[in-house]
Amino acid sequence: MSWRVRVVHTTGYRYEAPVTQSYNEARLTPRGDRRQNVVVSRVETTPATRAYRYTDYWGTEVTSFDLHAPHLELKVVASSVVETGEENEPNRSGSWPDLKSEALLDRYTEFLDWTPYVPKDKELAAVARELRKGVSPADAVLAACHWVHQQLKYQPGTTGVHSSATDAWRAREGVCQDFAHLTLVLLRAMGIPSRYVSGYLHTKPDGAVRETVRGESHAWIEAWTGGWWGYDPTNAIPVGPRHIWVALGRDYGDVAPLKGTYSGGAASALDVTVEVTRLA
């Protein structure tokens, strides 16, 4: 069953002293694909700016804008209406030998390589070897997601945006970003091409129509086992109608929702709110 969902994401910065020369890029526009249809989407800023839109290397819609008038607060509101798709079934058509083929290794090389957020780790590689023993690649993905779900405690505050998968693993705590990164370490250690997905989650499994819930910025993973399919390790659930995806990349670094530079006083993040409403 598919849902029609409205997402209003508010984010931004508050500054101690007036800021000028602020250059920013927002990656907040949901993408359309076979299982998601974007009905409408816009990104607005306060103070108002002339936005410029482009599609980056990873296919993400980027909104870039700059601000030169002194300002103490920058607010970015991204709102969109999206039709989401059915629950994602694991793709079981790929075998381990398929994953070893030279053509595949080359094609998905970027989703098999280590990154600062998804570093190589001996201990985790040993875990990955255990998890893949005797099961198909698709089941190995599920096993990795469930293992991460069991090992990590969902606890905001211990890790930050710059924490890597191993930082979270040592702390045994983290947020969705860390759950996704840690899963990617395991999958790439197994030789399964896998990528980071950022997006939103409607928090109620049986959300009522027209009810607005406090949603969250979310992250999950996609793996290639004969075809791409997603799974949400933070909640140990398949990616379904409650998931609205925005961007794909090797790790968080490729999909950061809002980044930029400015000159002026120290910044503190505004309260991020994500309001998700099921429309149909």
Q: Which positions touch other proteins (CB under 8 A)?
A: 21, 23-25, 50, 52, 54-58, 64, 66, 68, 105-107, 109-110, 113, 259-261
Q: Which two tokens stand for residue 209?
A: 């129509």
Spell out a b/e string for 75-113, using b for 16 or more CB atoms within 10 Å of the CB, else e: ebbbbbbbbbbeebebbeebeeeebeeeebeeebeebbe
Measured distance CA(33)–CA(279) in Å, rounded: 20
Nearest distance from C-beta of residue 65 to other proteins, angstroms: 8
Task: Show contacts of 150-159: CB within 8 Å, 24+ apart.
Answer: 151/182, 152/178, 152/179, 152/182, 154/179, 154/234
State which residue, 25 or 173, has the beta carbon closest to other proteins: 25
State which residue, 42 or 259, has the beta carbon closest to other proteins: 259
Nearest distance from C-beta of residue 57 to other proteins, angstroms: 4
DSSP alpha helix (H) spans, the chain: 96-100, 102-107, 122-132, 137-151, 165-171, 176-190
State which residue, 172 or 259, has the beta carbon closest to other proteins: 259
State which residue, 105 or 279, has the beta carbon closest to other proteins: 105
Nearest distance from C-beta of residue 137 to other proteins, angstroms: 21
Measured distance CA(265)–CA(94) in Å, rounded: 53
State which residue, 21 or 212, has the beta carbon closest to other proteins: 21
Nearest distance from C-beta of residue 48 to other proteins, angstroms: 12
Q: Which residues pair with 53 in a beta bridge?
A: 63
Nearest distance from C-beta of residue 190 to other proteins, angstroms: 19
